[in-house]
Amino acid sequence: MRSVSIIGGGLSKFGERWDKSFRDLVVEAGTAAVIDAGIEGREIQAIYGGCMSSGRLVGQEHVGALFADFLGLNPIPATRCEAACASGGVALRAGYLAVASGMYDVVAVGGVEKMTDFDSADVAIALGGAGDMEHELFFGATFPALYALMARRHMLEYGTTEEMMASCSVKNHKNAVHNPYAQYHNEITIEDVMNSGYIASPLKLLDCSPITDGAAAVILCASEKAKKFRKDPVEIIASSQASDTISLSNRHCMTELHATKVAAADAYRRANLKPSDIDVAEVHDCFSIAEIMAIEDLGFFDKGKGGPASLEGLTALNSEISINTSGGLKATGHPVGATGIKQAVEIMWQLQGKADKRQVKDAEIGMTHNVGGSGATAVVNIYKRL
């Protein structure tokens, strides 16, 4: 297996992009990534694209072909990857494996979702398909409800409080103020979160990531050729994926995502690293409790200690471990097919020292953690500057 590096990345602006169509977002992010990589389109040999619900929401299937068409990359092969909210992470891993295997030298990987043009009930049904439709959504168990169950169990077993969960949202909004691509640029307080109204107790409105339009893209290249294109490529030194039961009711534990733990352990083994070696991580904070469980399952804090660590500021920028410097899903936004790629772009910028006011000092090793559904899929990647 060959070493693989990111040589370019690009984002669309995230948010309520009523001025842009689904394909416009693809072109906005894809073009930015190609320009950043300093390559010509003819050098790209394949495309992998993450997208979850374009058929239901915008009536567009056959998304891989659309990517190739509107990015001017025909006739190269283009493949859509779907794994709910981990669609982007799975697409990134597919592109990584394609280059690592020697099949291709340069591939484009993207992710996109157009979500805000539709009634929130329709979006909720579309997102519900990320879980067990027959045994969960049909009985009224939306995703906020499923994560609320996890939060309640975490509170019962470890004494986690609503204020601890709120602190994750506060920190992520503070980081997003300095991210020009983020959906939100307003700081909030714990009091704001506590007064924002329950969606599914104990999760309140400001504990939840928003509905978002957006796209993200990266260009992957065999590391041995990466410096032909730029001086500061970022190497993917480990990529791992794991699965768990799609239904929350069949899990052996309600206070962890087992797929995250398995994927993380494999990634650390492949990279010959341990959690304390990670300088900056983008983790999947679809809900504030999800961030707390993630930083525990990834090994940054012991189980049950993620809540206190968040409230004490240990996950703030340039603290013990810098978590979600982009603003996370909560404040940057969560266009579900794009999120896993957006995370990789943020880590690329951090390791290149290009994150401006949200820059982690002397960042050398980064991680991304992308989750599908309530934890049935988890993708963990580890990165370093080449």
Token couple for 269: 């083994």
pLDDT digits (tens, 9 = 90+) for 252-307: 999 999 999 999 999 999 999 999 999 999 999 999 999 999 999 999 999 999 99
Are the beta carbons of 48 and 95 closer than 8 angstroms? Answer: yes
Query: Average pLDDT in the 35-49 region?
Result: 96
Token couple for 67: 């990517």
Q: Residues 154, 173, 284, 334: which is the catalytic one?
A: 334
Question: Does residue 124 carry a pLDDT above 90?
Answer: no
Q: What confidence category does residue 137 fall into, taking pLDDT thresholds of 50, 70 and 90?
A: confident
Residue range 4-118+212-234, CATH number: 3.40.47.10
HEC string for 141-203: CCHHHHHHHHHHHHHHHHCCCHHHHHHHHHHHHHHHCCCCCCCCCCCCCHHHHHCCCEEECCE
Query: Average pLDDT in the 196-224 region?
Result: 98
pLDDT of 238 reads 98
Whole-prediction pTM: 0.97
| Amino acid found at 27 | V
For 323, the 3-state DSSP assignment is strand
Q: What confidence category does residue 129 fall into, taking pLDDT thresholds of 50, 70 and 90?
A: confident
DSSP class of 210: P
Is the backbone peptide bond immediately before 335 cis, with ω within 30 degrees of 0?
A: no
pLDDT of 127 reads 85
Q: What confidence category does residue 118 fall into, taking pLDDT thresholds of 50, 70 and 90?
A: confident
Alpha-carbon distance of 299 to 157, in angstroms, equals: 18
pLDDT digits (tens, 9 = 90+) for 216-241: 999 999 999 999 999 999 999 999 99
Q: Which CATH fold topology does 130-208+236-385 show?
A: Peroxisomal Thiolase; Chain A, domain 1 (3.40.47)
pLDDT of 373 reads 95
Q: What confidence category does residue 126 fall into, taking pLDDT thresholds of 50, 70 and 90?
A: confident
CATH topology agreement for domains 4-118+212-234 and 130-208+236-385: yes
pLDDT digits (tens, 9 = 90+) for 60-78: 999 999 999 999 999 999 9
Percent above pLDDT 90 for the chain:
92
Beta strand pairing status for 203-204 and 280-282?
unpaired
Token couple for 105: 């030298």
Average the pLDDT over each of 54-58, 313-317, 349-353, 363-367 and give the range with the smallest value. Answer: 54-58
Q: Residues 51, 85, 208, 286: which is the catalytic one?
A: 85
pLDDT digits (tens, 9 = 90+) for 302-332: 999 999 999 999 999 999 999 999 999 999 9
Question: Does residue 140 carry a pLDDT above 90?
Answer: no
pLDDT digits (tens, 9 = 90+) for 356-383: 999 999 999 999 999 999 999 999 999 9
pLDDT of 2 reads 97
Task: Write phi, then psi, for 358 (nearest 5 degrees).
Answer: -105, 20
Alpha-carbon distance of 320 to 311, in angstroms, equals: 13
Q: Is 81 noted as a catalytic residue in this protein? A: no
More confident site: 210 or 123? 210
Per-state percent for the chain, helix, strand, coil, to nearest 5: 40, 20, 40
Question: Does residue 138 carry a pLDDT above 90?
Answer: no
Token couple for 135: 């045994």
Q: What confidence category does residue 119 fall into, taking pLDDT thresholds of 50, 70 and 90?
A: confident
pLDDT of 123 reads 87
Query: Comparing C-alpha atoms, which of 26, 143, 85 is closest to residue 337?
Result: 85
Domain ranges, ordered by start, for the chain: 4-118+212-234, 130-208+236-385
Average pLDDT of the residues of the chain = 97
pLDDT of 12 reads 98
Beta bridge partners of 78: 47
Query: Average pLDDT in the 79-89 region?
Result: 98
Query: Average pLDDT in the 24-42 region?
Result: 96
Q: Is 253 noted as a catalytic residue in this protein? A: no
Alpha-carbon distance of 194 to 288, in angstroms, equals: 12
